Structure 1
Amino acid sequence: MMKNILTVLLVLFILGQFIRPTHNISAEQSPNDIERHYQVPTDVRLTLEKACRDCHSNNTRYPWYYNIQPVAWWLNDHIVEGKKHFNLSEFAAYPPKKADHKLEELIESQTDHWMPLESYQKLHADARLTEAESQALIDWASAVRDKIQTTHPEAFVKK
């Protein structure tokens, strides 16, 4: 009986290797990418690349273990959820108030240290941000928020 159960599980595991989620890879940078609309200093751009863009953009760098099911589905869920909350590739498509709020959340994620996720950091040592990297993200996001609020004051009028 146990042998039959293990055989069925093995067959399901093997078949599962052929059912894969769609890759999150864009051939080119989106016209709505934050870098096309706001100045991003090199140090901040590098931090976004190593710690944020895999889950919060339209272009993910996939690790080798992504090819093993059900890991790919688990990672895909993280990517879909990450993009739903904050997508650097589609940032300019956000209305000003939403863009401001997303940057406010980015600042909070760094002051409270809940991003990048611990599970991501365990597998991507370079995603562990130093205090200086976190502070650079905070300073940059604050400057972009100021620019959004100055450029679109009508979006922030209390009604």
Structure 2
Amino acid sequence: MKKVAYWILGTAVVIQLFRPDFTNPKVDETIALKTDPKVMSILKTSCYDCHSNETAYPWYHHVAPMSWVMANNINQGRKALDFSNWENIDSKVKLERLERAKQLLNNELMPKSEYLLMHKNAVLSDEQKKVLEIFFDSQIKRL
């Protein structure tokens, strides 16, 4: 039993050496999303940690394997929709991503449930969901 415990402890220590990159790329305000302050407040609270270059990293981003999951979620989130790169997103791609964002929001799949476990302030009220839906619809109409 002691050998198993030492093996688990040793593995836990060794995996800490494999760290993902957690640097935020610089935000160029000329290409970042600019919209109504109410919408921006909701996005910054519930979406920006994964969908922008303004991620606020919590203490546990230093702990593997949680750090690996976080890095993957952030990379996938930025790839899916990056509000820091808003003006550089192709219109057709932006349209697809906005429609997808609206669908995920309506099906309560965003923000992700595992994110909400540690970020209670990111839980969206019905009113906030409506504000985001109106924003997504307005952006879709513009495209």
Equivalent residues of 2:26, 2:53 under 8 A apart? no
Q: Which has the larger radius of gyration?
A: 1
Shift of 1:6: 2.5
Map residues 34-113 of structure 1 onto 2, 5 A cutoff: 34-35=33-34, 40-113=35-108
CA distance in 2, matches of 1:28, 1:96: 20
The equivalent of 1:153 in structure 2 is none
What's the secondary structure of 2:50's corresponding residue? coil
Residue 154 (structure 1) aligns with: none
Q: Is the 8 A contact 2:53 2:84 kept in 1?
A: yes
CA drift at 1:30: 5.4
- Please give the alpha-carbon distance, in whole angstroms, between the structure 2 residues aligned to 1:19 and 1:31: 35
Whether the 8 Å contact between 1:65 and 1:71 is mirrored in structure 2 is yes
Amino acid at match of 2:14: L
SS at match of 1:77: helix
CA distance in structure 2 between the aligned counterparts of 1:132 and 1:103, rounded to whole angstroms:
19
2:28–2:84 Cα contact (<8 Å) kept: yes
Q: Distance in 1 between matches of 2:94 and 2:23?
A: 22
For 1:137 and 1:51, the matched residues in 2 are separated by 11
Distance 2:23 2:41 in 1: 20
Which of 104, 116, 137 does residue 142 from structure 1 map onto? 137
When normalised by structure 1's length, the TM-score is: 0.81
Q: Which amino acid aligns with 1:70?
A: P
Instruction: Provide the rounded CA distance (Å) in 2 between the counterparts of 1:56 and 1:87.
Output: 5
What is the aligned residue count?
A: 143
Q: CA deviation at 1:105?
A: 1.4
- The letter for the 2-side match of 1:69 is A
2:3 is equivalent to residue 8 of structure 1: no
Does residue 28 of the first structure (1) align with residue 27 of the second (2)? Answer: yes
The superposition leaves residues 86-141 of structure 1 with CA deviations (integer Å, 9 ceiling, x where unpaired) of 11122222211111111111221222221111111121111110111111111111
Gaps of 5+ in 2: none
Q: Distance in 2 between matches of 1:46 and 1:24?
A: 23
Q: Name stretches of at least 5 consecutive residues in structure 1 with no aligned partner.
A: 149-159
* Aligned amino acid, residue 144 of structure 1: Q
Output the CA distance in 2 between the equivalents of 1:67 and 1:45.
Answer: 28
Identity %: 24
